[in-house]
Structure 1
Amino acid sequence: MNINNKQSFSKVPRRKLVDEVLEQLQHKIFSGQYQVGDQLPTEPQLMDELGVGRSTLREAVKILVHANILEVKQGKGTRIKSLNFTQDSFEVRLQHADMDHIYEAREMLDLQVAILAANRRTQEDLLKMKGHLDKRKKELEKGNYAEYIDADIKFHLSIAEASKNMVLLDLYQSFVPILRHTLSQLILKTVDYKDNSIIHEKLFTAILNQDIEKAKEYAIQNLELK
């Protein structure tokens, strides 16, 4: 079944675009009219029907992809992957969580993965961290903010990976969408954005030297500066 011929979406006002696009997509997908495997309209068609830009649409689709509801395949479009969905899934709740609560949870998570990474990191882990750290700095200097944010997130994920605790790594990965959103908003709202690369470098050095106390210190400082 293809949903190209189904009832059109209504135009979305500029206010809270991503949330409203997500709500409309969910309403259509879970309306009972469609089955697993159904193809969504093309990206240009959805942009036109919803009255939003490509980045807004992709952000909403990305959330549904992370929730395993949609699947995107290059050259084949976007299809419905699953209709088994609960509105209170962890990923969805994170999108609407109080920012102070997110920072509190991140502080606990960042602190723990930094401690474990300082104790358990391997040479391979260190090489990954350094690579992401170098790319982070290079992309910022070029003004490539999207690539900078991506490298920043990969740096922190590499620390979580170095913890050798797959549960903590999975938890950290679930924070990626909100981290990307938060960093993007920070850059947009700050006239003269100042990066905290020095703290990141000190955090890396602490993990390199297996200095647990310093790793804890800089993990906390990193959050305080955001």
Structure 2
Amino acid sequence: MLQKTNRLTLVEQVALQMEGLIESGKWAVGMRIPAEPELMVELNVSRNTLREAVRALIHAGLLKTKQGDGTYVCSSSALGVVLQKRILRSDTLKTLEVRQALEREGAHLAAQRRTSEEARELLLQLERCEAAAARGDIDGFVAEDIRLHQTIVAASHNEILLELYDHIAEASQDSITSLTRYEVKADFLEIHRQLVEAIVGQDADQAAAAVHRYISESKAVFEGREEEQR
């Protein structure tokens, strides 16, 4: 038998309001949230209620407290926290398989839906990747490469796909960085150029095929490193 749902407690309401500020970007990751007195006035709640709400968000992984400094935003959403914890329990190969699924669909849709402005931005972002690689700036290349893939997925115009991808990219950044350091070579860059040109040319099948090729290369790099360590 279905039970009557309970109304949200005041603490839950305050926590949801604060979570909304985080998810909207008003409280960005890395930002120190306002001090207790300010929040008590803004939210019109008591100190105890506010502290309970903050504790709930700390437990959820959205906030963290630095002793003597304040409370900071450490994740953009509860979904991101869940995905991060799950990815940390997975190996790189499984993460690559998830990336392939999301990036392939993102590229396929981007080729169909990208705007003229997005096509120009993709070409500019590709040039930034190639420039970083040319000057041997590995850290710069990694950052630009991640932005390139986020730009591609954004051009799919599927907000759910973009949110999932952003969280996956954030949670798996260490493994992406580790693999990308081994992948800055001519053929890897050429595949990315083929990917962008396929999206610009609105060839969805070629865009998806390019994703398959560079993920296959990443898998080969991972498996080669695993073999060396045995």
Q: Which amino acid aligns with 2:101?
A: M
Choose the corresponding residue for 1:184, options 169, 177, 182. Answer: 177
Tell whether the 8 Å contact from 1:120 to 1:163 is kept in structure 2 after alignment.
yes
Over 4 Å off, 4+ runs: 34-38
Choose the corresponding residue for 1:194, options 166, 182, 185. Answer: 185
* Superimposed CA distance per residue, residues 67-114 of structure 1 (whole angstroms, 9 cap, x where no aligned partner): 522489xxxx662449x979x812221122122221221111111111
Distance of 1:104 and 1:184 partners within structure 2: 16
**Stretch deviating more after TM superposition (160-169 or 105-114):** 105-114
When residues 205 and 96 of structure 1 are mapped into structure 2, their CA distance, relative to the original with a 3 A threshold, is same
Distance of 2:165 and 2:207 partners within structure 1: 17
State the shift of 1:151 in Å.
Answer: 0.4
When residues 212 and 193 of structure 1 are mapped into structure 2, their CA distance, relative to the original with a 3 A threshold, is closer
- Give aligned pairs, total: 160
Aligned to 1:69: 63
* Superimposed CA distance per residue, residues 104-144 of structure 1 (whole angstroms, 9 cap, x where no aligned partner): 21111111111100000001111221121111111111121
Look up the SS of the partner of 1:143 in the other structure. coil
* Superimposed CA distance per residue, residues 39-86 of structure 1 (whole angstroms, 9 cap, x where no aligned partner): xxxxxxxxxxxxxxxxxxxxxxxxx9xx522489xxxx662449x979
When residues 124 and 78 of structure 1 are mapped into structure 2, their CA distance, relative to the original with a 3 A threshold, is farther
Distance of 1:113 and 1:187 partners within structure 2: 20
- Unmatched tracts of structure 1, length 5 or more: 1-33, 39-63
- Unmatched tracts of structure 2, length 5 or more: 1-50, 219-230
State the shift of 1:36 in Å.
Answer: 7.5
Distance of 2:168 and 2:78 partners within structure 1: 19
Q: Which amino acid aligns with 1:165?
A: N
Look up the SS of the partner of 1:103 in the other structure. helix
Percent identical among aligned pairs is 23
1:30-45 map, 5 Å: none
Distance of 2:149 and 2:128 partners within structure 1: 13
Distance of 1:85 and 1:216 partners within structure 2: 30
Choose the corresponding residue for 2:206, options 201, 214, 220. Answer: 214
Choose the corresponding residue for 1:90, options 83, 87, 94. Answer: 83
Look up the SS of the partner of 1:79 in the other structure. strand
Q: Which amino acid aligns with 1:97?
A: S
Look up the SS of the partner of 2:157 in the other structure. coil
**Stretch deviating more after TM superposition (127-136 or 201-210):** 127-136
1:46-125 map, 5 Å: 67-70=61-64, 79-81=71-73, 89-125=82-118
Cα RMSD after superposing both structures: 3.3
When residues 129 and 69 of structure 1 are mapped into structure 2, their CA distance, relative to the original with a 3 A threshold, is same
TM-score normalised by L of structure 1: 0.61
Look up the SS of the partner of 2:71 in the other structure. strand
Distance of 1:179 and 1:152 partners within structure 2: 14
Tell whether the 8 Å contact from 2:110 to 2:156 is kept in structure 1 after alignment.
yes
Choose the corresponding residue for 2:122, options 126, 129, 144. Answer: 129
TM-score normalised by L of structure 2: 0.60
Tell whether the 8 Å contact from 2:142 to 2:177 is kept in structure 1 after alignment.
yes
